[in-house]
Every structure is written in C-alpha cells, then in structure tokens.
Amino acid sequence: MFYPHAPDPTDTVIVGISGGVDSAVAALLLKQAGLKVQGLFMSNWDDQDSYCTTADDYQDARRVCEKLSIPLHRVSFAAEYRKHVFAHFLSEYAAGRTPNPDVLCNREIKFGYCLDYIHRLGGSWIATGHYARVKHTHEPQLLRAIDSSKDQSYFLHSVAPAALRQTLFPLGELLKSEVRSLAHAAGLPVFDKPDSTGICFIGERPFEEFLSRYLPINPGPIETDTGKIIGEHRGLHLYTVGQRSGLRVGGTVGAAAKPWYVAEKKVSRNALVVVQEQDHALLLSTRFTVEQVAWIGAEPDMRASLNYTVKTRYRQIDQACHFQLAPTATLTVTLKESMRAVTPGQYAVFYLGERCIGGGVIANRL
C-alpha cells in the first residue's frame, strides 16, 4: 500500500543498519517518531581478508540495536552482488571505462533484493542513512539533502520509483554535525565512528592490488597529445580521466617541470594519453553522450529553456545543460560551460533545482 506522506504507525519500518553512525541515527529518529522499527545488517562481500570489516561492523550494528531495543536481522546478498554489481564493475574496467559500483549497488542490492527481503520479513518501508530526501506525492520525487556536502542523491538516481515509494531517508533534513550530536546525546556506541570509505560493501583497500586479483596486467605506452612516448602504464584499468598521481612520468626530457594528467585512454591500441595543463582542451568537454538513461517519473521536457543541471562526478558542482534524445535512446548533453574530466563509464545525473530527475552512463565525449 502506498502512503502519500508518512508511514502508518502500525507499519513496520526496517532500517539498513551498517554499523555506522548514519544508519544508527536513522533508526533512532524513526523510533522516536513512534514507529515500529527493526534493523537489518547486510554482509555482501564474502572474502574475509585483512581489509574486510564486516565482523566488526556487525558487532557495532548489534550494539546499536541493543541500545535502541529493536530486533536486528542479518542477511547476505554476496552472490547477487557479485553477479549484478561486481561482474559489471570488472567488465567496465576491462573495457577501459571507469564505473561507479555504488549506483548499481543501490539499485540492484539495497533497493532491489534487500527491499524484497524486507517484504518477506513483514516490513512495509525501507529506511537507510543516506543523505537525500524523498517527497511522497502522487509520484515519488528524489530531492537533494539539506547538507549539500553530504548529499547522496547522485548515487540514488537509478533507484526505481516503485522502490522510492517505500523508502524513508530520515537524515535528509539534517547536517552531518547534527547527526553526530544526536548519536552522542542518545548514547549510541558509534557516535564517533569514522565514516566508511572505499567501494560499496568491499571497503577501503589498495585499489591496484585488489584489481590485479581479477584483471590481467596489460602494460602499454604513455603518450603525450602529440604522440611522443614518455613512459609505460601498468594497465588502462588503473587510470581515470583527470588523474594526476601515480603516472610515474616525472622529469621527462623536453617537457616542462609540471604535473601530468590523464586525458584519454586509447583502448584499441592500449595507450594512455597524458597532458600537462590542468585545463588542456583534451580534458574539457561541452558535449557528451549518455546511455542507459533512467528517469524518476515521466521523461522530462527537453526544451533548452528549462533550468536543468548535470553532475558527472559525485563531488562536482553541477552545471547548466540541455539535452536531446536520439532515436537510439541515447542522450546528447550540451553544457553551458565546459566541464573537466567527463569520463566514460561514470554517471551523468540530472537535476531540476533540488529535484534529481534521473541519469545514465556517460558513453562518449564529443
């Protein structure tokens, strides 16, 4: 059943408890609102190595739920994660693109398999510690969080509207500092736990070492934009457009003593093109194409007069744009001003003011 404004007090809300402060406060706020709250801990990566924090995170989740006097369920979608998220992640890197697994993880796992599991537990709503807002009108609207520095609507843009109808984001109106203060005041044991980083469910680990377990090392030339070979890369999948560190081409004869930046990946001949100017023409784009586009609700009006903006990376300030849909269902996006390091494989996410209207995968720079 769809509730247009808020859950009924008789509904069960199941909160994804990760063992961090955000999900703990989400559960706290829902319980304080008088709702029937339960917790669910997901462990979706099954390699128990020195970088895996699942065991510790579960104990933190258990302590949080004990403090809040709510039941805690535990489930693993490790097989589903490997099939629907990690396999795509590897195939994109193998193709020389730079994927963002967090978007797929949200769509396929947290608001897909997990939401189905929540229904089997008797839950009517899913809640998480994401910093975003859902406006529950006749059609759900995904809105930016009040805390712009923590807003995660970028990662949620491809969650199905049917899932958003059953979703609560209790932290959407709060600043991160307020969240930690609430956790401290409530005596939650994770009030000062550092924020998690790294790949969704896999965690923070040496990236090159990790990828080398799954993808073959295929070195090739590092070239300037004029075709001069100045070094050797360790595999195209280890680099992304705009990257500065880790190129190992300092002190090149005949070149200025300035940093080098990744400008292009020439996959057909396994070459990495680098430039020295941070705003080199090869790093700037005013047009690019987007595929696998998904809208939240009806397809938007594509008149150029409307005030659409786009992000091509999570931490980026979005820029004014307009877009045109080709017969192939590919969007051509035109920017009002040039944007740096538009990267194939990453997501372009579109906004109309505070509302996130959808997005897709960046295919090519034009």
List of domains in the chain: 12-185 (3.40.50.620), 219-275 (2.30.30.280), 283-365 (2.40.30.10)
**Catalytic residue flag (residue 200):** yes
With cut-offs at 50, 70 and 90, classify the pLDDT of residue 245: confident
Q: What pLDDT was estimated at residue 1?
A: 30
Helical axes 54-68 vs 21-32, angle rounded to 10°: 20
**Catalytic residue flag (residue 356):** no
Residue 41 host element (H or E): strand 36-42
> What would the pLDDT profile of 304-342 be if each residue is shown by its tens digit?
668 999 999 999 999 999 998 877 779 999 999 999 999
Q: What pLDDT was estimated at residue 203?
A: 59
> What would the pLDDT profile of 34-59 be if each residue is shown by its tens digit?
999 999 999 887 766 555 678 889 99
Residue scoring higher pLDDT (5 or 297): 297
Confidence (pTM): 0.92
Q: What pLDDT was estimated at residue 200?
A: 57
- Catalytic-role residue among 114, 200, 321, 356: 200
Q: What pLDDT was estimated at residue 249?
A: 84
DSSP states along 143-168 = E--SSTTT--HHHHTTS-HHHHTTEE
Q: What pLDDT was estimated at residue 279?
A: 93
Q: Please enumerate in sequence order all residues whose Cβ is within 8 A of that of 341, keeping only pairs 6 or more positions apart, or say none.
A: 240, 241, 242, 283, 312, 313
Amino acid of residue 358: G
What's the CA dihedral at 268, 274, 278, 280 to 10 degrees?
-60
pLDDT, average across residues 58-86: 96
Q: Which residues of 306-343 are buried (b: 16+ CB within 10 A; e: fewer)?
A: eebbbbbbbebebeebbbeeeeeebbbbebeeebbbbb
- Catalytic-role residue among 65, 105, 321, 356: 105
> What would the pLDDT profile of 168-196 be if each residue is shown by its tens digit?
999 999 999 999 999 999 999 999 998 87
Q: How do strand 12-16 and strand 355-365 relate by DSSP bridges?
A: unpaired
